[in-house]
Structure 1
Amino acid sequence: MALIFIAAKNIEKCHFGDTICLIRTMNSIIRHYPKGISEIGLPPLDVTHFNLVSVLNTTTKGPIWLNFHLRDNINKGFNNATIIHVDGFDQDPTKKQIEIKARIPRILHEANYDMEGKFLLFKANSTGKLTSDFQNFELTLIVKVFVEYRQDKRFLKIYSLVPNVKIDRWIIWMDDLYKENSDLTIALNRAFNDHWVEFWNDLEPGLLTEFKISFTGLLTTIFDRVSYDDMFLSQTEIYGSSLFE
Structure 2
Amino acid sequence: MCQSAERKSRRNKNNVSSSPVPVNPLCVTDYTASNFKICKQSDPNVNECLKTAIQDALSLVKNGLPEFNIPRIDPIDVESLVIGEGTGAVHLTQNYKNVKIYGLTTSMIESVEFKGNDGDITLVTIGKVPELRLEADYDINGKILVMPVVGEGKCTIKLEEVNTTMTIKAKPFHKKGVTYSSIEEFLVTMAPKKMETIFENLFDGDAAMGAEMNKLINDNWDEIFSDVKNGYEEAFGLIFKNVANQIFKKVAFKDMFPL
- TM-score category of the 2 structures, normalised to the smaller one: 0.7 to 0.9
Identity across aligned pairs (percent)? 20
Structure with higher RCO (Cα < 8 A, 6+ apart): 1
SS in 1 for 2:92: strand
Kept in 1, the 8 Å contact 2:38–2:53? The answer is yes
Q: Distance in 1 between matches of 2:231 and 2:89?
A: 21
Q: Which residue of 2 aligns with 1:186?
A: 211
Structure 1 residues 6 and 21: alpha-carbon distance in aligned structure 2, compared to 1, 3 A threshold: farther
Q: Which residue of 1 aligns with 2:107?
A: 81
SS in 1 for 2:249: helix
Is 2:31 aligned against 1:31? no
SS in 1 for 2:204: coil
Q: Which residue of 2 aligns with 1:70?
A: 96
Report deviation, 1:171. 0.5
SS in 2 for 1:90: strand
SS in 1 for 2:216: helix
Q: Distance in 2 between matches of 1:130 and 1:52?
A: 14
Q: RMSD over aligned Cα, in angstroms?
A: 2.8
Structure 1 residues 168 and 120: alpha-carbon distance in aligned structure 2, compared to 1, 3 A threshold: closer
Query: Could you list the runs of 5+ residues in structure 2 that have no partner in the other structure?
Result: 1-28
Amino acid at match of 1:47: P
SS in 2 for 1:219: helix
Query: Could you list the runs of 5+ residues in structure 1 that have no partner in the other structure?
Result: 235-245
Amino acid at match of 1:81: S
Deviations 1:170-229 (A, max 9, x none): 000111112352111111110100000111012222222221221221222211111110
Amino acid at match of 1:128: G
Q: Distance in 2 between matches of 1:196 and 1:136?
A: 14
Q: Distance in 2 between matches of 1:64 and 1:147?
A: 40
Q: Which residue of 2 aligns with 1:44?
A: 72
Q: Which residue of 2 aligns with 1:140?
A: 165
Q: Distance in 1 between matches of 2:30 and 2:218?
A: 39
SS in 2 for 1:216: helix
Q: Distance in 2 between matches of 1:150 and 1:167?
A: 41
Is 2:181 aligned against 1:156? yes
**What is the TM-score with the length of structure 2 in the denominator?**
0.77
> Which of 141, 144, 148 is matched with 1:116 structurally?
141
Structure 1 residues 75 and 185: alpha-carbon distance in aligned structure 2, compared to 1, 3 A threshold: same
Kept in 2, the 8 Å contact 1:53–1:206? The answer is no
Structure 1 residues 38 and 7: alpha-carbon distance in aligned structure 2, compared to 1, 3 A threshold: farther
Deviations 1:1-33 (A, max 9, x none): xxx996263433211171111111221222344
Structure 1 consecutive aligned stretches of length 4 or more whose deviation exceeds 6 Å: none
Kept in 2, the 8 Å contact 1:5–1:25? The answer is no
Structure 1 residues 97 and 63: alpha-carbon distance in aligned structure 2, compared to 1, 3 A threshold: closer
Kept in 1, the 8 Å contact 2:90–2:228? The answer is no
Deviations 1:74-116 (A, max 9, x none): 111112112222222434553x732122321101211111111
